[in-house]
A and B are shown apart, each in its own frame.
Chain A
């Protein structure tokens, strides 16, 4: 068994301490955040991580913005004047993309990981991608329409 394990590529690298990007085979040296040259699963994982980190950043940005409500009506009205500009509303579309991608990919990962749909991850990615794209277009049109 140990002889067979010794033949597994990347095993020596796995024993090293340090970032996971140096461990195992198939992971580029630049790490998971580099989606270049990946299969669909690796690309989906990398984008899921990036959107997740973006949403955590947004969570704290959102809490900071909502703090303006504590300062009273004038502070909130001043913020609304900025928040209803085209530049700000465009960022809302980016937020909607992050929410839709992370949420729908999360559904895919949960369905595959729990064994409900273990062999259909690519089909799920594409079908949920279509749903997400339609929802994003609808959301973007709603935001643009309100402006």
Chain B
């Protein structure tokens, strides 16, 4: 028997599980895990395989290192994840000061702006050095 739908079929908007703080915690954890892996690669590749004082690369060694496509991608990912994790961490510390909702909005905007500036400068640095090799 055919039926006729008489009720409106619009679904209520899906809301993600957990509140904003739960999503923030999840994002902090995921970005933290990524940072942990990438910082290990970064530290070992930059400071523990180089035979020099303090494990620091010379100018030409830095250019050769960053111009490697695999390293370029890894360092770019490291920059992204470390910036996201740092901004989320700073937000957590500032939330401890119990800001008003209006102040929290300004904090969020400020941290987004700081994160974008950090990423822009970091990518400029990586890009210029890779192009010089």
Contact = CB atoms under 8 A, between A and B. Distances in A.
B55 A143 contact: yes
Interface string A113-147: 11000000000000000000000000000110011
Given A76-B59, A106-B32, A146-B55, A59 B86 contact: yes
A106 B96 CA distance: 18
* Interface bin, chain A: 35 or more
A55 B43 CA distance: 14
A143 B39 CA distance: 17
Nearest to A16: B98
A17 B25 CA distance: 23
Contact of A113 (B25, B39, B55, B98): B25
Contact of B125 (A53, A63, A83, A110): A63
B29 A113 contact: yes
* Interface bin, chain B: 20 to 34
Interface class of chain A by DSSP: helix
A56 interface: yes
A73 B129 CA distance: 12
Nearest to B51: A146
Contacts of B54: 83-84, 88-89, 92, 143, 146-147
Nearest to A66: B125
B82 A59 contact: yes
Given A80-B56, A84-B53, A19 B98 contact: yes
Interface string B2-23: 0000000000000000000000
Nearest to A49: B93
Contacts of A143: 54-55
Interface of B: 25, 29, 32-33, 35-36, 39, 43, 48, 52-56, 58-60, 62, 82-83, 86, 89-90, 93, 96-98, 100, 118, 121-122, 125, 128-129
Given A56-B90, A63-B118, 9 more contacts: A52-B93, A59-B83, A66-B125, A76-B58, A77-B58, A103-B35, A106-B29, A113-B25, A147-B54
